Copies of this chain bind each other. A is one copy, B any other.
């Protein structure tokens, strides 16, 4: 450590919010170069390379074949699939000296599809899985959390090519198994959740999420075993109600009711119902949104949902992608005089009236609502879906709440946060069709190949491990990803201590252990603090007890300490390292 390029920091960096970011910087493992762009320092790069090695070993063990694409890619293939435009500002674009358009690959579906198209032509060539571990670029609007969400990052991305859906399912299952092995070896705690496909377009999809408070993804699970990305949760709709016999709709004066709460209070005071009080869930809130489409045009969308729920923008985004939703502004309202802010009702909405109207799945036929009467200070009561209004369809845009039922009947949902560390995804034929990847089947007929895409955030996994493996003193690396097996701390000023410590370091390296040896001339306090901050799993102290022939072995995770005779040190340390 006296020559190691390492400077640990006592203080958290000012721009760091999440534990992994703070600790990776404080432990001298990474340094920031620009927003979302980081440099790995020696110990950090050792950890990174361990993670990369484990990912590669598990991919190879699964029989997948490694290739390596450039990051600098021509525009044309991404133009063919529409993603040159769809990716919007997230795609990093540049021109070469001749003015030709290039991009920095955010993901490589197009390139893999074209590569296979160039080499293969027969069903006999399939199935095929090829993968790469490669640097990717996404110009995130808000790069945050250090290397958890960077703009330059390393992904393992694989792609499967099959002749039919059964083959795709097998390739998908092989990846699922390989991912389980990979994340187990990485020491990550994770859940596998059903996921939306988002902008990718396709069918079956699951995410591997590492539960942790600083995760960007919210997911829900039930005690009965259901788990899903919030974007993927399907609402359990209530039963439809027969329309016959329901009271007729009636408009009422409802002055000074700008909020749902004030409306419910007024309803209970002036129009009380016999069976129970009105609640926010009896109101139908109509939220107007602005959609910006990839081609730059905008349109309006109204989402109707029970007044006791808010629109979840991430769920909404997943539904309307590639369009990007944002709140309706005053200027937007000016263009739609029929929308009376605060009093919008379904009667003026719908595609045939120029404003698409989608409702929460709870708004089923026969449900009666208090909602806006499209007139200042007036609401309509007993407005019945399917009788008084017909939405253009439903949309999964309402927030999911703890206690909501799981769609599979496995109990109540509760939410948690996680980091997306892996994603497996049945792409289907979208890319193969767009880029004309076909093979001849056994009858000599041309068939479009079906594909899957599968990602692991390799650099992100380092941060995810740090999020799950630390305490208030520092990092606690799982052994296989740790920068070393043993951290030898020599304390004091006695030359004999440093001599013995160095002999021990050499002997342990000869045994095949990876050793970090702190030979610096600094105080024991500094050394102990650094050893806890760096998080090597086994710490060996060679210090003042050496006069009695004793050294100390400490387990970083449990804090357990054990004194052993120097003469028995090597087998004891090997045992502590699980050897």
Interface residues in chain A, defined as those with a beta carbon under 8 Å from any beta carbon in chain B: 3-7, 28, 31, 33-34, 37-42, 45, 48, 63, 65-74, 89-90, 92-94, 96-97, 100, 102, 104, 111, 115, 118-120, 128, 130, 135, 137, 139, 141, 151-152
Q: Across the interface, do B152 and A33 meet the contact criterion of CB distance under 8 Å?
A: no
Question: Inside 8 A of A94's CB, which chain B residues have their CB?
Answer: 92-94, 104
| B67-A40 in contact (CB<8A) | yes
Give A92's nearest chain B residue, CB to CB.
B94
B residues near A68, Cβ cutoff 8 Å? 39-40, 45, 48
Tell me if B65 and A42 are in contact (CB < 8 A).
Answer: yes
Report how far A135 CA is from B69 CA in the complex, Å.
12
Docked Cα-Cα span, A74 to B32, in Å, equals: 11
CB–CB B139/A38 < 8 A: no
B151 touches A72 (CB 8 A): yes
* Central interface residue in A5, A67, A151, by most chain B CB within 10 Å: A5
Which residues on B sit within 8 Å (CB–CB) of A130?
Answer: 5, 42
Residue pair A111, B152 in contact (C-beta under 8 Å): no
Known: A96-B92, A97-B141. A4 touches B65 (CB 8 A): yes
In the complex, which of the residues B42, B89, B104, B120 contacts A97, with contact meaning CB atoms closer than 8 Å? B89
Q: Given the complex of chains A and B, what is the CA–CA distance between A40 and B100 in angstroms?
A: 23
B31 with A115: CB separation less than 8 A:
yes
Rounded to whole Å, the gap between the CB of A213 and the closest CB of chain B is 28
Closest to A75 in B: B34
Complex contact B45–A5 (CB within 8 A): no
Of A28, A42, A65, A102, most buried by chain B (CB within 10 Å of CB) is A65
A128 to B3 Cα, complex, angstroms: 8
Q: Name which of A72, A100, A120 has the most chain B CB atoms within 10 A of its CB.
A: A72
Q: Which residues of B contact A65 (CB under 8 A)?
A: 4-5, 42
Q: Are the C-beta atoms of A119 and B5 separated by less than 8 Å?
A: yes
Provide the bound-state CA to CA distance between A92 and B111, in Å.
21
Given known A-B contacts A89-B97, A97-B139, A66 and B42 have beta carbons under 8 A apart: yes
Q: Which residues of B contact A119 (CB under 8 A)?
A: 5-7, 28
Q: Which listed residue (B39, B48, B72, B90) contacts A115, Cβ 8 A?
A: B39
Can you name the residue of chain B whose Cβ is closest to the Cβ of A76?
A: B34
Closest Cβ of chain B to A118, distance in Å, is 7
Point out the residues of chain B lying under 8 angstroms from A137, CB to CB.
72
- Bound together, the chains give a CA A343 to CA B446 distance in angstroms of 71
A6 — which chain B residues lie within 8 A by C-beta?
119
Chain B residue contacts of A151, Cβ below 8 A: 72, 96
| CB pair B5 A37 closer than 8 Å | no
Q: Is A135's CB under 8 angstroms from B71's CB? A: yes
Check if B71 sits within 8 Å of A33, measured CB to CB.
no
Question: How far, in angstroms, from A378 to B38 measured CA to CA in the complex?
Answer: 66
Chain B residues whose C-beta falls within 8 Å of the C-beta of A115 in the assembled complex: 31, 39
A93 to B118, CA, bound (A): 31
**Is A70 in contact with B39, judged by CB distance below 8 angstroms?**
yes
Q: Known pairs A7-B120, A40-B67, A92-B96. 11 more at Cβ < 8 A?
A: A5-B65, A5-B119, A31-B118, A33-B74, A34-B72, A37-B72, A39-B67, A42-B67, A48-B68, A93-B94, A97-B141
Chain B residues within 8 Å of A63, by CB: 3
Residues of B close to A135: CB separation below 8 A = 71, 135
By the criterion CB–CB under 8 Å, are B128 and A5 in contact?
A: yes
Cross-chain pairs A/B with CB under 8 angstroms, 11 sampled: A31-B115, A33-B111, A37-B72, A39-B68, A39-B111, A42-B65, A42-B66, A72-B92, A72-B137, A96-B151, A135-B135
Nearest-neighbour CB distance to chain B for A90, whole angstroms, equals 8
Q: Which 3 A-B pairs have the closest CB atoms?
A: A94-B94, A40-B68, A89-B97
Q: Determine if B93 and A66 form an interchain contact, defined as CB atoms under 8 angstroms apart.
A: no
In the bound complex, how far is the Cα of B137 from the Cα of A283, in angstroms?
59
Given A39-B115, A65-B5, A34–B152 Cβ distance below 8 Å?
Answer: no
In the bound complex, do residue B34 and residue A74 qualify as a contact, i.e. CB atoms below 8 Å apart?
yes
**Bound: A130/B40 CA distance, A:** 12
Task: Tell me which residues across on chain B come within 8 A of A40, comparing CB atoms.
Answer: 67-68
Tell me which residues across on chain B come within 8 A of A38, comparing CB atoms.
70
Tell me the complex Cα distance, A135–B67, Å. Answer: 15
Kindly list chain B residues whose C-beta atoms are within 8 Å of the C-beta of A33: 69-70, 73-74, 111
Q: How far does the alpha carbon of A439 sit from the alpha carbon of B73 in the complex, in Å?
A: 42
CB neighbours of A120 from chain B (8 A): 7
